[in-house]
Amino acid sequence: MYFPYLRGRLYELLALKDLLEKDLLSEKVVPVIEPIKLSTTLFNALENFIEKKRKIGLILNPEVVDLSKSIMEDKKILTLIEEYEEYFYPVLLMQENTLKVVEYWEKSNINKEKWWVINTRREYIDTYNKIFSQQKPKQTFLPDEFRRKIRLENKVLLENRFNRCYRNVDYKKNVDEFFSEDHLFYSEEGYKGFGDYSIIGDEYVEGGFLPYAVVIHLVYMDTDQVLKVHHFLSKSNVDTKNPAGKFYEAVGKLSEWVNTHSENTYFSEGLKTFIKHFENQTYPGLGTVKKLSLMHHLELMGHYLETYNG
């Protein structure tokens, strides 16, 4: 199973929506969402997954934006937890407010054995072991370095595999690089699944500004089934003018690369849409660029797991 960790931005939620509606998201791909706001789009996404009888996890105590109190008071979320436990999974993030959050949900009679728990910080290992000394969570997401500290059968590997640059133009220093091989080895290393932060990375960064360079991140499988990521960068990067032109430069490089690497390329819906934009010389906007890259990655992982790990 593959568990992409998403932050609930609009383009991430729309990527899930498009894949789900077109039946392109494998059942072996189960998103975990850390919400940044309780938006209509978020609730629509959760409801879409439940209607399709698909599993999804929602972090009840997000860290990047403090929504814990709002989530506790939201009747829709409580209904999802109580009535759709087969598909909707409450997720606990180990952080500063974890003990208070646990106390609240225990008073609401939410069984800890139904939770998913994410622990990526060493300073919270003791707190984790204290909270779950008697009742173990349904599964725990953790980096590989913690497997000797948290001994569980139902553990999921969670690592940040994306080398994020603070400036898009800096991707030119390493346009093609290793991404991950967790999908090849997670099972034999004792994990029930694996997860990552896709082509976004684990650091939350507010958007809202025009970049000097437009970049398209494309995850692909090398000949030995190792995942790599190629960064297709625009050329005219001296100022923020003409993002549409910059996109066309980047997507032109992508189209040229695909033509020479077709044997390694999975032609997902996201990738085919990129190519259509190149052929039609259309510009979808920067949010959609990120959405299409994410769609491609999620569909690619589902295809791999269905084909080679079924």
Give 137-146 pLDDT, tens digit per residue. 999 999 998 8
- Residue 14 to residues 11, 34, 44, 172, 243, Cα–Cα distance (Å): 5, 15, 10, 28, 21
- Residue linked to tokens 């910080």: 121
Considering the chain, what is the average pLDDT of its residues?
Answer: 92
Q: Which of 78-82, 213-217, 287-291 has the lowest mean pLDDT?
A: 78-82
Q: Which of 93-102, 132-141, 198-207, 236-245 has the lowest mean pLDDT?
A: 198-207
- Residue 281 to residues 55, 119, 252, 274, Cα–Cα distance (Å): 37, 44, 10, 10
Confidence at residue 264, expressed as pLDDT on a 0 to 100 scale: 80
Give 263-274 pLDDT, tens digit per residue. 888 999 999 999
Name the most confidently modeled range: 69-83, 115-129, 198-212, 291-305. Answer: 291-305
- Residue 167 to residues 115, 213, 215, 286, 294, Cα–Cα distance (Å): 37, 8, 10, 15, 19
pLDDT surpasses 80 at 82: yes
Helix-then-strand count for the chain, H and E: 10, 11
pLDDT surpasses 90 at 106: no
Mean pLDDT on 4-28: 96
Q: Do strands 139-142 and 155-158 pair parallel, antiparallel, or not at all (unpaired)?
A: parallel
| CB atoms near residue 83 (< 10 Å) | 11
pLDDT surpasses 70 at 208: no
Mean pLDDT on 232-241: 93
Confidence at residue 207, expressed as pLDDT on a 0 to 100 scale: 67
- Residue linked to tokens 């491609």: 296
pLDDT surpasses 60 at 55: yes
Confidence at residue 310, expressed as pLDDT on a 0 to 100 scale: 55
Work out the pLDDT band at 152, boundaries 50, 70, 90.
confident
How close are the terminal C-alpha atoms of the chain, in Å?
A: 10
Confidence at residue 10, expressed as pLDDT on a 0 to 100 scale: 94
As a whole-number percent, the residues of the chain with pLDDT over 90 amount to 71
DSSP-assigned letter for residue 136: P
pLDDT surpasses 60 at 75: yes
Confidence at residue 252, expressed as pLDDT on a 0 to 100 scale: 97
**Are 219 and 300 in contact, with CB atoms under 8 Å apart?**
yes
